[in-house]
Amino acid sequence: MHVIVVGGGIGGAAAAVALSRAGIEVTLLEQAKVLSEVGAGIQIGSNGTRALRALGLLDAFRAKAVSAHSYRILDFESGELINDLPLGAIASRHFGDDAFEAHRADLMDIIVSALPEGVVHLNQRCMHVSENDGVVTVTLESGDTLTADAVIGADGIHSNVRKGMFGDQPAIPSGMVAWRSTISADKIEHLGFEERFYGWRGPNRIAIAYWLRPGKLFNFVAIVPASDLEVGESWSHKGDKQLLERSLSGCAPQLGELIKAVDDNFLSALNYRKPLERWTVGRVTLMGDAAHAMLPYMAQGAVQSLEDAVVLGRCLQRAREGRVSIEDALLDYEHRRRPRTTRVQTNVLALRDFWFASDPLKRAGNMRRMQAQGKLDPYGDSQWSWVYTYDAEKEADAPLGYPVMMPFSRARNQVIPPRFHPRQLWESMFGFDDRIHSNDGLRAAYERRFASSIPSRRSELNGMPCLETGTTAADAPVVLHVHGGCYVMGSAQASLGHAAALAEAAGARVVVVDYRLAPEHPYPAALEDVIVAYRGLLDAGVANSRIIFSGESSGGSLALAALMSLRDSATPLPAGLIATSPFADMCLSGESLLTNGFGDEFVNKDFLTVAATSYYQLQDPRHSCISPVFGDFTDLPPLLVQVAQDEAVASDAIRIVKHAKDAGTNARLTCYPTSTHAFVLFSGDEPCAGEAIAEAGEFIRAAVGELRSADANRDAVLHH
């Protein structure tokens, strides 16, 4: 078997190594006159370390690279420590291998030195690829042609191979540009930089620094808005140091001193591409930036191309051995790799939205969330395990698992047991364009999914905006509903469908509170809003005996926290509470987060870590008003708690009912046979939803009726 690899960057050269190791004849075509790598610094996470081991390159690379102690995130202006994510030996314990920093040229030299003689052909620009009767022909700029059994397009973001397969589409400008410079160690000795990765996060800009060669050469990168200056994509465009200093004015002292040490610097625009729907046509496929060009915010561009190389080599080895056809081998490679790289691309763009938020409230909330995450998840397991525990060699040989696209789930790295293949109702809500816009995108998707034309009435309760639906009868039960969305999304408008179902089931007036969302408005904002709305009902003359609290997900937790707070302030309490899938433990200590981790590929520990820290930020997550599962359950009205038996937060519901019963509170738990979080919202898709809503209606009528009867009896006794 003969394979042509078009493009001699890190990915293409690594693919040539992998194919050669698999016993395949390889021709590597590179348009440049010298096989080299542009740029200076490269970061290799634990997943990249495993890929280098699979390629037989790790020992040589380790001798040249730096194993950083931590990823230290600092405030751009003050230099204050935001987070310090352990790397090095600690990363090895958590993610299975060390993480490294190195000079790109050093890695490139190591890869090239592993190639057999005669593989590399320089100054050979591919212009066109065609296939006929199982023979693939590459036409060069010179007019010469080469033939092979398969062709791999590894020719970068402006790939001619991809252009011939899928048409010419321009790369997408990110709106950001990168300053890049290397600094000799003697110029920064006084600044005390250790073997760490340093990142300064500021208003719409970041700066990054780390050692390329221990004690010899230091790397500096700053990413700023393109509006600061005009520059093209070239990595060799020299920048004006005065412009660099202006772009980073007002920075922390240590960073300012580092900038002074910069001599030569280069500028390049940062562009990317959206994920492709396919990579493979017949005997031609893509890899690296040709397949999945991404921005640098996860330091995964080169690493993903190394993973591609490993999987491609294994898949084509099976074809060489006659176990599968070449066409099937290339499709197998794509099916194993494309879901993974799509997730990485998506997460990278979501991080762009996170890091470069222009709204001061969002930016401040994001930074506080990161500080909280450093305490709740100090080793980054929830956020980064899905990236760094991936093993390309094992993935190449494992049965194809259930594809997961959401960046918050690590499930794609494993084969999911059949019991956990439910309707992925949350997962399917969010498209690529939603996910890349972080919270704003998730919120927009939530609103689309739960949009409703149900008639509603706008109202205010002590200034708190609400929407109402259901009856207007003066003596009807009043349900104060607190919508879900894990504290970071959702609205009264998006809750109207569920509110109307509750209103019909109970013959009630349902009032939905439009509370403030995190991270812009952390605790106690949402809780205060719920309490203000309840007091507004009381002030409007609604008897507490007619009121029921209701909520799903974060709404169930907020309603329970409001009950406890109202009780502690000696405020008359409502007649009862319905909490469906309550997300009530911000410490994420429930057993079901681990045992039911596959049940919902969106609402799992990875996502809930982000949601929880977005909400409580710098507060104590064990506070009962933040995590009511740890609260005092005495002297509360009756509780109905509904939960999906296989959902991630099932333990929260179970513990709430246990603690309530132990405290003498009337509490009932109903577990429904599904794994969908807040399943009552999906009445058209979840058979259990209708049953749960009917149960809630019965509870509302009974609780209001019993309390009103008790009040009437008490009044009669007093009157007598």
Contact criterion met (CB below 8 Å) for 287 and 256? no
Any bridge partners for residue 670, and if so which?
Answer: 642
Helix H, strand E, coil C: the string for 5-16 is EECCCHHHHHHH
Catalytic residue of the set 37, 307, 552, 647: 647
Distance CA 149, CA 143 (A): 20
Write the DSSP symbol of residue 281: B
Rounded distance between C-alpha atoms, residue 396 and residue 336, angstroms: 7
CA-to-CA distance for 187 and 264, rounded, in angstroms? 13
User: Taking every pair of C-alpha atoms in the chain, what is the biggest distance, in angstroms?
Assistant: 109
Task: Tell me which H or E stretch contains 370.
Answer: helix 360-376
Helix 104-113 with 10-21: angle, nearest 10 deg? 30
Query: In terms of DSSP bridges, do strands 217-225 and 205-213 run parallel, antiparallel, or are they unpaired?
Result: antiparallel
In angstroms, the CA 552 to CA 641 distance is 10
Alpha carbon 395 to its chain's center: 21
Residue entry with tokens 């020719």:
155
* Residue 226 CA, distance from chain mean position: 25
Per-residue tokens: 657:
């009912």
Residue found under tokens 């495993």: 50
The C-alpha atoms of residue 494 and residue 475 are separated, in whole angstroms, by 27
The rounded distance, in Å, linking the Cα atoms of 300 and 282 is 28
Measured between alpha carbons, how far is 160 from 227 in angstroms, rounded to an integer? 30
Pairing verdict, β 478-482 and 509-513: parallel
Q: Are 583 and 649 in contact (CB under 8 A)?
A: yes
Residue 713 CA from chain centroid, whole number: 55
One DSSP character per residue, 77-140 reads TT--EEEEEE-HHHHHHHHSS--EEEEHHHHHHHHHHTSPTT-EE-S--EEEEEEETTEEEEEE
Q: What's the CA dihedral at 449, 451, 452, 455 to 10 degrees?
A: 160
Catalytic residue flag (residue 614)? no
Beta bridge partners of 272: 172
Helix (H) and strand (E) counts in the chain: 23, 26
Alpha-carbon distance 704 to 708, whole Å? 6
> 675: closest CA among 559, 589, 572, 593?
593
47 neighbors 387 (Cβ within 8 angstroms): yes
| Whole-number Å distance between alpha carbons of 533 and 523 | 16
**Catalytic residue flag (residue 677):** yes
- Interhelix angle for 525-539 vs 554-568, to 10°? 60
Tokens linked to 427: 């997962």
Active-site entry in 292, 481, 677, 695: 677
Classify each residue of 131-146 as buried b or exposed e, where b means 16 or more C-beta atoms within 10 Å of its C-beta: eeeeebebbbeeeeeb
Contact of 634 with 665, CB cutoff 8 Å: yes
DSSP string, 52-68: HHHTT-HHHHHHHSB--
Catalytic-labelled residue, pool 553, 565, 614, 651: 553
Q: Which residues are catalytic?
A: 553, 647, 677
